[in-house]
Amino acid sequence: MDNMLVSSWFHLHSTVPLSYVQPPESRPGTASVISGKSIPVVDLGSHDHAETLLQVLRASEEYGFFQVVNHGVSKELMDDTMNIFKEFHGMPELEKISESSKDPNGSCRLYTSREINNKDFVQYWRDTLRHICPPSGEFMEFWPQKPSRYREIVAKYTQEMRALGLKILELICEGLGLDPKYCSGGLSESPLLLGHHYPPCPQPSLTLGTPKHRDPNLVTILFQENDINALQVFKDGEWIVVEPIPYAFVVNIGLFLQIISNGRLIGAEHRVVTNSGTARTTVAYFIRPTKESIIEPAKPLTCFGAPPIYKPIAFDDFLRIFMTKGPDIETFL
């Protein structure tokens, strides 16, 4: 069963299988969840550039998370994208596996729990479709062809995410006092798309959809469904629920921007909880560097009495270490 997609067997069980039960200290409810507190919301359609920049920078420093509205991506494209991922995850298991196994090198793949699965570790209540989506259009031939409009819709969506991501990065870099284009080029040329599906869970208090973690990238732009509270951000020893806003995107700072900012920005820890009644689908766009890119504190931020607190590391090396050290990688850096 551990080798099967969660969506193929979740409805056959009235309890969570032992391999999915989290240790007591990791289960939902072991740390308090703040009610009534929310992460900042930034209006990207505002004509007050200085105020927008200030809001983005403050949210990145204090929370590592914010939501953006009036971002320029059409509601129609957002609806089409969410629906196409729901259609994909609703297909029969063998068909989904076939559609996501076209590249022997694994540029597109479907997995359950997490990308590197080990039966010695606790499993997570989700299935994920993962593929790279560089601006060149390379590797699109390995994307799923079913549902029938998948490539057409997702290609448009990733183009819009790239434009939005670069706009957000420019605001952040300008706010830090860097060249607004500092993160353009190699630092943002290898984006990744993750389509997560979290089926209903019979015992949400025992398991997680995604564990507490920081993202190994510059920025994540997440599109989540309305009316399902599942994403939580860890701040000051407590969890803040990221309540969905219709047609907004959730933006979170990754570890690489934390490094580039020399610790000024927060690569915030977050997790996903499950629920017993409703399946949840999300689409996450990861802005990542090319493999050979060097991740290090920006030199303009370390010139005036602020020595670098992180050592330089190539993105490829970072990923290799991240897969083994996980949350402990900050100590290594």
Residue 113 to residue 127: CA distance in whole angstroms: 6
Q: What would the two tokens of residue 47 be?
A: 């004509």
pLDDT of residue 35: 64
CB of 10 within 8 A of CB of 207?
no
- Spatial neighbors of 126 by CB under 8 A, at least 6 apart, are 6, 112, 113, 196, 197, 198, 209, 210, 272
**Which pLDDT tens digit goes with each residue over 40-67?**
999 999 999 999 999 999 999 999 999 9
Mean pLDDT, residues 190-200: 97
212: helix, strand or coil: strand
Q: For residue 179, is pLDDT > 60?
A: yes
User: For residue 97, what pLDDT band results from cuts at 50, 70 and 90?
Assistant: very high
pLDDT of residue 204: 95
**Percentage of residues in the chain with pLDDT exceeding 70?**
94
User: For residue 234, what pLDDT band results from cuts at 50, 70 and 90?
Assistant: very high
pLDDT of residue 1: 43
Neighbours of 26 (CB within 10 A): 15
Total length of the chain: 333
Domain boundaries, the chain: 23-332
Q: For residue 310, is pLDDT > 90?
A: yes
Query: How far are the Cα atoms of 21, 41, 68, 111, 159 from residue 164, in angstroms, in the given order?
Result: 38, 16, 10, 28, 9
Question: Which pTM value belongs to this model?
Answer: 0.94
Mean pLDDT, residues 245-260: 97
Q: What would the two tokens of residue 332 be?
A: 């290594």
pLDDT of residue 321: 85
Q: Are strands 210-213 and 192-198 parallel, antiparallel or unpaired?
A: unpaired
Q: For residue 305, is pLDDT > 90?
A: no
Residue 271 to residue 255: CA distance in whole angstroms: 15
Q: For residue 217, is pLDDT > 70?
A: yes
CATH entry, 23-332, from 2.60.120.330, 3.40.50.12370, 1.25.40.10, 1.20.120.140: 2.60.120.330
249: helix, strand or coil: strand
Neighbours of 71 (CB within 10 A): 21
Q: For residue 117, is pLDDT > 70?
A: no
Range in 114-118, 126-130, 147-151, 202-206 with the lowest mean pLDDT: 114-118
User: For residue 121, what pLDDT band results from cuts at 50, 70 and 90?
Assistant: confident
For helices 75-90 and 150-176, the axis angle rounded to 10 degrees is: 120
User: For residue 120, what pLDDT band results from cuts at 50, 70 and 90?
Assistant: low
pLDDT of residue 330: 74
Q: For residue 37, is pLDDT > 90?
A: no
User: For residue 116, what pLDDT band results from cuts at 50, 70 and 90?
Assistant: low
Mean pLDDT, residues 307-316: 92
